[in-house]
Amino acid sequence: MELTFYIAAAVAVLATIMVITRFNMIHALLYLVVSFLAVAVVFLTLGAPFMAALEVIVYAGAIVVLIIFVIMMLSLTREDVEQEKAWLQPKLWLGPALLSFALLAELVYLLVIAEMPAAPAAASYVDARAVGLALYGPYVLGVQLSGILLMAGIVGAYHLGRQKKKVIHRFLQEKEPQKERSAAI
């Protein structure tokens, strides 16, 4: 079981590295699916099978499919890949990577110095039943808020996604009227 965890963890990290280094969006998304599936395996090894299922269905399924649909709508071409390559200069990597590594180093340091209390004797397996009971027990308010959030997301996506009438913010109009006109043509 431990071995499974480490393999899955390694796959997840590698797949993520691949995601962030790809120039082609579809490739990146495929690696992203791999990464999500690996994380799902990690969930299984940690004893959260329900979450593993959700990870596969929602992240690897719904969200990635959504992004793919959008990418298809934008009808990207080979030039966009070249553009992506041009944008991703190595000198751009250095600063952010250093910053992130500093952050990671601090996290690791914190993990090392923290005195981890021993896990409880009981098995660390939490089944879907316990989750469901807690979700609709103490956390029912959170469920309702999530519902409102999803509702807002639907309304927001509908509102922002409409393209029948060109909606240009007045700031944009005033600032770059000519550009907008050419865009309209």
Q: How many residues bind other proteins (CB under 8 A)?
A: 96
For the record, the structure tokens of 95 come out as 């600063």
For residues 40 and 4, the answer to whether their CB atoms sit within 8 Å is: no
Nearer to other proteins, 78 or 110 (CB): 110
Distance CA(41)–CA(56), nearest Å, equals: 10
Q: Is 165 in the site for other proteins (CB under 8 A)?
A: no
Please state the closest distance from residue 71 (CB atom) to other proteins, in A.
Answer: 7
Give the Cβ contact number of residue 59 at 10 Å.
Answer: 17
State in angstroms the smallest separation of the CB of 137 from other proteins.
Answer: 10
Of 144-163, binders to other proteins (CB under 8 A) are 146, 149-150, 152-154, 156-161, 163
Candidates 77, 78, 79, 95; binder of other proteins (CB under 8 A) is 95
For the chain, report the end-to-end CA distance as a whole number of angstroms.
61
Q: DSSP labels for 71-131?
A: HHHHT--HHHHHHHHHH--HHHHHHHHHHHHHHHHHHHHHHHHS-PPPPPSS-----HHHH
From 7, 16, 27, 56, residue interacting with other proteins (rule: CB under 8 A): 16
Give the contact letters, 41-80, x = binds to other proteins (CB under 8 A), - = no: -xx-xxxx-xx--xx--xx--xx--xx--xx-xx-----x
Which residues in the 107-136 window bind other proteins by CB under 8 A?
107-112, 116, 119-120, 122-126, 130-131, 133-135
